[in-house]
Amino acid sequence: MKKVAAWLVMAAAAGVVAWLALKPAPPQEVEFVRVRREDLTSTLVTNGRVEPAQAVAIRASRAGKLTLHISRGERIRPGQLVAGFDPGGLQSELDAAQARLAQVETGTAQFDRGGPPAVIAEIEAGIREAKARRDTARREREALDRLLSKGAATAHEAAEARTRETQAEAQISALESKRGSLLPPEGRQAAEARIREARAAIAQVRTQIAQLAVTSPAGGVVFHLPVKSGAFVNAGDLIAEAGEIRTLRALVYVDEPELGRVAKGLPLKVTWDALPGAEWIGSIERTATQVAPLGSRQVGECEATIENADLRLPPGANVNVEIQTNRLTGVLTIPRSAVRREGAAVGVWILQGGAVAWRPVRVGISSVARAEVLEGLAENDAVALPTESGLKNQEKVQARFR
């Protein structure tokens, strides 16, 4: 009896399993959306890089240890000191050259004055005294000569007066000769040559000192500062880049098949992953003039102008670009994800009597999320969104509308 009961239980279980195996699976749940009319902007999504519309590179004029006088983000003016090098002994050389110039200029000035002022004053005083003695002796000698002719004076007296006059004349000549010997024997031209040499030495040292100062040839905001103060640089090394960054130039990389959609003046929007939600607006300024490889892509490089009034978008940033290539009003649209490609055929799955049916369509322009429907669908038609398991023609489905 127990064996019979066991066999009955096993038979019942097998029947349940068989029934479950033969029972039809429930229809898969599929999400649908309605075809609707709306305004549609066709966008071309790509990437690019931004750089200043105008910029200048500031480079080291020589090798050496650098001292920076600017910081990143600082606005600088043309000619402003950006960095400098240690002058070493050049300042001492300049001081010595300036002292030498003062010395030779003082020597040359003596040609205008005749010699050192104190010595000249002493000699001039001696000459005046000697001339006074000479004039006195001359008057005495002339008086004695008249008296001698009348027998009123002796020849000895007249000779003594003549001797005093001659001595005074000799002293005047000696003092005048001494005054002339105060000036350098090589003459004024040699002294002026020494002045020129001294000034040339000063100019040379000043030129060397000036080369230690690195200045900016133009104004703008310092947006790139690859070196730090105290670093050693070589001649020609990049110290900083500065420019006007309120307006940026965007290099937009457009894949070769899409280049025909891009034209000068088209508006675009730029986003940057580092600042989610921020947008910058611009327009195409120049279309691509050639196609070149970019990684695994063949792209044309278009140029655009981007407004960066808040200075939040830094030069050198890699950005996302959406170019608005067309705009239509009141057209039929569906999600781009609803459009399927089966080989060469383009179509959608539509809801028809509780089942899905394949419907060929012709699409027009598209945005990031929506596509224009030119043929094959009517307003309010229900089209299926992608499913994990795929769909078959006339497959029953459980529809759910978004």
Check which CATH number belongs to the domain holding 344 and give it: 2.40.30.170
- Residues 191 and 275 placed together within one structural domain of the fold: no
What does the pLDDT read at residue 155?
82
For residue 113, being part of any structural domain is answered with yes
Q: What is the mean pLDDT of residues 283-297?
A: 95
- Residues 154 and 232 placed together within one structural domain of the fold: no
- Residues 161 and 289 placed together within one structural domain of the fold: no
- Residues 393 and 261 placed together within one structural domain of the fold: yes
Which of the listed residues 207, 230, 264 is the one where a domain comes to its end?
207
Q: 150 pLDDT exceeds 90?
A: no
What does the pLDDT read at residue 73?
84
What does the pLDDT read at residue 321?
97
Half-sphere exposure of 32 (CA within 13 A, CB side): 23
Q: 4 pLDDT exceeds 80?
A: no
How far apart CA 133 and CA 124 sit, in angstroms, is 14
**Which H or E element spans position 55?**
strand 36-59
What does the pLDDT read at residue 84?
84
Nearest to 384 by CA among 29, 32, 27, 28: 32
In sequence order, the 6+-apart residues with CB closer than 8 A to the CB of 323 are 43, 44, 46, 252, 254, 261, 262, 266, 267, 268, 284
- Residues 311 and 333 placed together within one structural domain of the fold: yes
Tell me the residue range of the domain where 295 lies: 29-52+243-401
Contact between 211 and 62 (Cβ < 8 Å): yes
Single-letter code of the amino acid located at 120: I
- Residues 202 and 79 placed together within one structural domain of the fold: no
Contact between 64 and 233 (Cβ < 8 Å): yes
Handedness of CA 194, 195, 196, 201 (dihedral sign): positive
- Average pLDDT score over the chain: 85
For residue 7, being part of any structural domain is answered with no
- Residues 142 and 97 placed together within one structural domain of the fold: yes
- Residues 388 and 302 placed together within one structural domain of the fold: yes
| CATH assignment at residue 221 | 2.40.50.100
Total domains in the fold of the chain: 3
The pLDDT-based confidence of 20 (bands split at 50, 70, 90) is: very low
The pLDDT-based confidence of 337 (bands split at 50, 70, 90) is: very high
How far apart CA 304 and CA 32 sit, in angstroms, is 39
- Residues 226 and 192 placed together within one structural domain of the fold: no
Judged by DSSP in three states, 253 sits in strand
- Residues 247 and 308 placed together within one structural domain of the fold: yes
For residue 349, being part of any structural domain is answered with yes
In the DSSP assignment, the letter for residue 116 is -
In the DSSP assignment, the letter for residue 386 is P
What does the pLDDT read at residue 249?
94
Q: 368 pLDDT exceeds 70?
A: yes
Contact between 259 and 288 (Cβ < 8 Å): yes
pTM higher than 0.75: no
Residue in this structure with the two tokens 């040359």, named with its chain if needed: 108
- Residues 71 and 178 placed together within one structural domain of the fold: no
Which of 10-14, 82-86, 283-287, 391-395 is the least confident region?
A: 10-14
